[in-house]
Amino acid sequence: MSEVTHARNGRPARHRWSPAGLAGLCTAAFHTWWTRRHGHAPPALDTGGARPPSALAGESALWRMRTTVKDEPGSLAALCTALAERHVDILSLQTHPLGGGTVDEFLLRVPAGLTASDLTGAVSRAGGADTWTERADAHDLVDAPTRVLGLAARTAQDASELPLALRQLLGRCTIRSLPAAPAVPVEGALEDTVMRLRAPEGGVITVERPYLPFTPTEFARARALVDLDARLGPRIPRGRDVLTLSEGGDVSVRRADTGDLRAARAMHERCSERTLRMRYHGPVGDADRYLNHLLGPRFGRTLAAQTASGRIVGLGHLLWDGDETEVALIVEDAWQRRGIGGELLARLVAMAVEAGCATVYAVTQASNTGMVAAMRGLGLPLDYQIEEGTLVITARLDAEPAAGRLSAPGGRRTGTGRP
């Protein structure tokens, strides 16, 4: 499997599948990292050392902390004592055995006046090393086995959940699909902050994060997760949503995958050069090259608009791009301006919300009034930027949609007439 490419600036730009947990069935409860609300953190996240003057007695904050201690009796007790002396409540603890020590991972309820420097200093004096801290939130209070079982159920239904589940399992990381060169052993390879795993379809899955070396326990969990995906084989949720268009007639919307490659290429042949250039921002002859990647569940999710005769007349893609998520649309010329693009986009954005994405962006041209109108029709705050001659529209998903269109698809819908 090669790295997926997709046009962002007129030339293909790498897409990473940055967006599950059979590992939790095979190991003790694992505190999954809920990192989509946090940016990359350095090994010791500091708040400046100053206590907020407004902190009141009894207020508290949630923190995650990871530290390495010697594998000897009393080392964990010393850490717990140091935390208790500062009125820190340990809500959960996970251990990752190493060759000469143990990585202890805590979820803590910390008095509001206590800073990251206070925690790191106390743990260091108690024997902890390589300490890392990060603010947590209410999602981290969810029972870890329950969360992992939920990820496993989602992945069992949908192969596109694998990159998202790996990220939730391992924390904020970059996930890539690469050709099988250099070769990776069947059991995979672990190198500090990078792990390499054999992809179910061939090739290699690499997982990398800029800090916090992966532990053997995390490596084993990731391997178990990928093994689950390989055993289940290709799969996407089945079902379709019937749309009654504004100008009459029905089309259905369903999930698509590489099994739809021939029908998608046939749609390309019926599209004008202008439509293909608007969508792929490059030579029209290259359009078909992208389809195998775009339809692959490893790189995101695809929706197809299909007529009663089975002809695909529109495709919508939700593509995992590192920490970001891209949306892209193409509708066959004869079916444009009948509401299909807007309906596909609304469903893609609803999927992004469900997956926990904070934003989605679309790469287009200012002359593509259909895509611009479809993004505006979401009723979400939008940011417009010009990047190397192309228009990038970013929608923020944590805002309440004014149009009320971002509901989960289901049942019959009526097209709005937007492009």
Question: How much is the pLDDT for 399?
Answer: 64
Q: 204-234: per-residue pLDDT in tens? A: 888 898 878 888 888 988 888 888 888 888 8
44 vs 134, which has greater pLDDT? 134
Residue 90 pairs in a beta bridge with: 108
Q: Residues of 266-294 as b/e, b for ≥16 C-beta within 10 angstroms?
A: ebbeebeeebbbbbbbbebeebeebbebb
Residue 176 pairs in a beta bridge with: 206
Beta strands in 298-396 (DSSP E): 300-306, 312-321, 324-331, 359-364, 382-387, 390-396
Out of 24-38, 151-165, 260-274, 316-330, give the one with best mean pLDDT. 260-274
Domain ranges, ordered by start, for the chain: 60-136, 142-232, 236-414
Q: Residue 77 CB: number of other CB atoms within 10 A?
A: 10
Structure token pair of residue 292 = 């195998």
CATH code linked to domain 60-136: 3.30.70.260
Residue 352 pairs in a beta bridge with: none
Q: Give the span between the Cα atoms of 318 and 331, in whole angstroms.
A: 15
387 vs 302, which has greater pLDDT? 302
Nearest of 382, 371, 310, 309 to residue 344 by alpha carbon: 371
Question: How much is the pLDDT for 32?
Answer: 30
Assigned fold of 236-414: Aminopeptidase (3.40.630)
Least confident of 106-110, 156-160, 339-343, 377-381: 156-160
Question: How much is the pLDDT for 194?
Answer: 92
Cβ contacts of 260 within 8 Å, gap of 6 or more = 295, 302, 304, 312
| DSSP element (H, E) containing 243 | strand 240-244
Q: Residues of 162-175 as b/e, b for ≥16 C-beta within 10 angstroms?
A: bbbbbbbbbbbbbb
144 vs 11, which has greater pLDDT? 144
Position 38 pLDDT exceeds 80? no
Q: Give the span between the Cα atoms of 204 and 185, in whole angstroms.
A: 10
Q: Taking the complete model, does pTM exceed 0.75, yes or no?
A: no
Q: Are strands 324-331 and 240-244 parallel, antiparallel or unpaired?
A: unpaired
Residue 197 pairs in a beta bridge with: 205
Question: How much is the pLDDT for 58?
Answer: 61
pLDDT band at 180 (very low <50, low <70, confident <90, very high): low
Q: Residue 96 CB: number of other CB atoms within 10 A?
A: 17
Mean pLDDT score, 352-377: 89
Chain-wide mean pLDDT for the chain?
A: 77
Q: Give the span between the Cα atoms of 325 and 94, in whole angstroms.
A: 31
Return the axis-axis angle of helices 273-280 and 287-294, rounded to nearest 10°.
Answer: 50
Residues 316, 319, 324: CA angle, nearest 5 degrees: 130
CB 334 within 8 A of CB 270: yes
Cβ neighbourhood burial of 186 (10 Å; 0-12, 13-18, 19+): exposed
Counting residues of the chain whose pLDDT is more than 90, the rounded percentage is 27
Question: How much is the pLDDT for 14?
Answer: 35
Position 54 pLDDT exceeds 70? no
Q: Give the span between the Cα atoms of 90 and 110, in whole angstroms.
A: 9
Question: How much is the pLDDT for 401?
Answer: 59
Structure token pair of residue 112 = 């509001």
286 vs 290, which has greater pLDDT? 290
286: DSSP letter: G
Mean pLDDT score, 172-177: 80
Distances (CA, A) of 190 to 24, 68, 104, 213: 20, 19, 20, 10
Q: 87-113: per-residue pLDDT in tens? A: 999 988 888 888 778 888 888 999 988
Q: Give the span between the Cα atoms of 393 and 326, in whole angstroms.
A: 10
Question: How much is the pLDDT for 6?
Answer: 39
Q: Give the span between the Cα atoms of 143 and 351, in whole angstroms.
A: 24
Least confident of 8-22, 57-71, 264-278, 356-370: 8-22
Question: How much is the pLDDT for 396?
Answer: 92
Question: How much is the pLDDT for 154?
Answer: 80
Q: Give the span between the Cα atoms of 263 and 289, in whole angstroms.
A: 14
Q: 111-163: per-residue pLDDT in tens? A: 988 888 999 999 999 999 888 888 887 777 777 778 777 777 888 888 888 88
What length does the chain have?
A: 419
Mean pLDDT score, 16-27: 34
pLDDT band at 330 (very low <50, low <70, confident <90, very high): very high
Position 389 pLDDT exceeds 50? yes
